[in-house]
A and B are shown apart, each in its own frame.
Chain A
Amino acid sequence: MSALLQVDKLAKRFGGIVATDDVAFEVPEGELHAVIGPNGAGKTTLIAQLSGQLAADSGTIRFAGADVTRLPAWRRSHLGLARSFQITSLFLDLSVLDNVALAVQAHAGHSFHFWRHARSETGLRQPARAALEQVGLAHRAEARASLLSHGEHRLLELAMALAGSPRLLLLDEPMAGLGPDESVRMVAMLAGLKKRYTILLVEHDMEAVFALADRISVLVYGRVIATGAPHTIRANVQVREAYLGEDADV
């Protein structure tokens, strides 16, 4: 049985800048795999390549046994790859429920339905509400997305990723910008999701990563310098020098 996600020799350059270089790792079904690395290590580029916003220059991405390297983002989504965004990316002028309902609709056949009111279709609204409940945002369902707090935006990001019943969640810094209390809640939520989903987590918050991850890959200057269980990563000298050095007591 091969891993759900297999990344091999993945590379992306922006002009002379190497964003990712020869990246290789695997995420087996059921694992929470974290990717850590200093700022500018290429973490967000990696997520964008995996989800299809950015085309890879070279290398391959295999998902659920199929080569998805050249597939556009929306096709990957249909295969079960769902991502959240580090910089909140929502439909700010729509309601919270509309946001999630769109994510449900994306996976409910084609949308060339021109007549029936989408907002009164229980087949869309019900699963959307369920996803909101999962992240504890159901009470804000009718609010305009632009009126939510930053913390709530992060939760909505997550709800939208969950709404498509994904096989793999790509979470790009779900903790970004959260206060201490909110972070604790988010970690608890991710710990809950971990039981049900395969997750690739890109995160800055080391405490969270070491608490949640089954395995960790360390990305430095676009290269994976180490992959392993949290305790081996913590002990890895190269990793300590390159990255954890400044914060060696984690």
Chain B
Amino acid sequence: MTLTVRNIATAALFAALLLLPLYVQLTGDRFMLTLFTRIVIMALAAVSLNLILGFGGMMSFGHAAYLGIGGYAVGMLAHEGIVSGLVQWPVALAASALYALVIGALSLRTRGVYFIMITLAFAQMAYYIVSGIARYGGDDGLTIYKRSQFGILDLSNKVVFYYVCVALLLATVYLVWRLVNSRFGMVVQGARSNETRMRAIGFPTYRYKLVCFVIAGTLGGLAGALLANHNEFISPSTMYWTRSGDLIVMVVLGGMGSVAGPVFGAVALLVLEEVLSGITEYWPIILGPLLLLVVLFARGGIDGLLSAIKRPGRAGKEPA
């Protein structure tokens, strides 16, 4: 790991995330803790989306479905009196993986716009299904009266919960980093770059893309389980299509080509949203053009900008 501006910035960001509770302790600004817990969870979801979007070139427009599935797994089980996290979380992951397997198996047979539309359509279908289940609150959502129980690890302690989220984010970033640099990751990236050639040199690309899709979905489900615990509430709006759009924006804003990029994207988007909405209720009018500028002039997103900054006296060359 060379000392590039980008790597330093990434390390600084993670250090800041780790030190945030200290700041909250000193200032008593409890809201910051709530805000950043949400940011960390959404960052985890964005990192998982980036695995298929940025590295796999699979333009999924339904990633919020996993937030919902993971969240409802926790919420429904809690509603039925099963509050152990050791049951809830594995169920959340397994349900997300299964959903991803089915959706992926079908949608990965299509390309381009069709793939976008199919992933979107399935996610919306999931949205309407949970909206219709009266037992679990339907449209109104479901209040979770007790956070997932993990023995002595008390998730209702806000600081503990925050650190659990940060630890899982770091673990996810590390996992994705290992994945994209492994043989598996090379195949997935090759398929993004030139799928015809991948088949010609001997790769059955479909199964690799499908496994990648399932891994991303499972990690998305983990984010969902966290989000439900954070909000102590889950509703269909968690998986509404605009949520999927938010996640895509985080990935693009942060930078698709890097593992940690989406973390920058999530922090930037959600902090901006928070700041701008404090200034004016018409904040999307400011945020929209800002995103447009990034897409038009900074293709690599925040990560790309950081990579472009050279440290004085050094040739800025960094590994992918």
* Docked complex Cα distance between A98 and B204 (Å): 18
Residues of A within 8 A of B211 (CB): 112
A137 is an interface residue with CB less than 8 A from chain B: no
B185-216 near A? 1/0 per residue, CB < 8 Å: 11101100110111111111100100100000
Residues of B within 8 A of A121 (CB): 183
B197 x A91 contact (CB < 8 A): yes
Q: Which of A78-86, A208-216, A241-249 contacts B (4 or more CB under 8 A)?
A: A78-86
In the complex the two chains form, is B204's CB within 8 Å of A102's CB?
Answer: no
Chain A's interface size range is 35 or more
B residues in contact with A85, CB < 8 Å: 197, 200
Tell me, yes or no, whether A206 is within 8 Å of chain B by CB.
no
> Are A93 and B202 in contact, with the CB atoms below 8 A?
no
Bound-state Cα–Cα, A114 to B203, Å: 16
A119 touches B204 (CB 8 A): no
Contacts A82-B201, A106-B203, A115-B178; is A53 near B196 (CB within 8 Å)?
yes
Is the pair B197, A111 in contact by a Cβ cutoff of 8 Å?
no
In the complex with contacts A106-B202, A111-B208, A164-B202, A117-B182 CB distance below 8 A:
yes
- Summarize B's interface: helix, strand, loop or mixed: helix
CB contacts between A and B, total, < 8 Å:
102
CA distance in complex: A75, B217 (Å): 29
Query: In the complex, are the beta carbons of A77 and B200 less than 8 A apart?
Result: yes
B294 within 8 A of partner (CB): no
Given A85-B197, A112-B208: 18 more A-B contacts, CB < 8 Å:
A52-B199, A53-B196, A75-B204, A85-B200, A89-B194, A91-B190, A94-B189, A94-B190, A102-B187, A106-B201, A106-B202, A113-B183, A116-B182, A118-B185, A119-B186, A121-B183, A124-B183, A164-B202
Query: Would you list the 5 A-B pairs with minimal beta carbon distance, nearest first?
Result: A77-B202, A106-B202, A91-B193, A113-B183, A73-B199
Interface residues of A (CB under 8 A from B): 51-53, 72-75, 77-78, 82-83, 85, 89-94, 98, 101-103, 105-107, 111-119, 121, 124, 160, 163-164
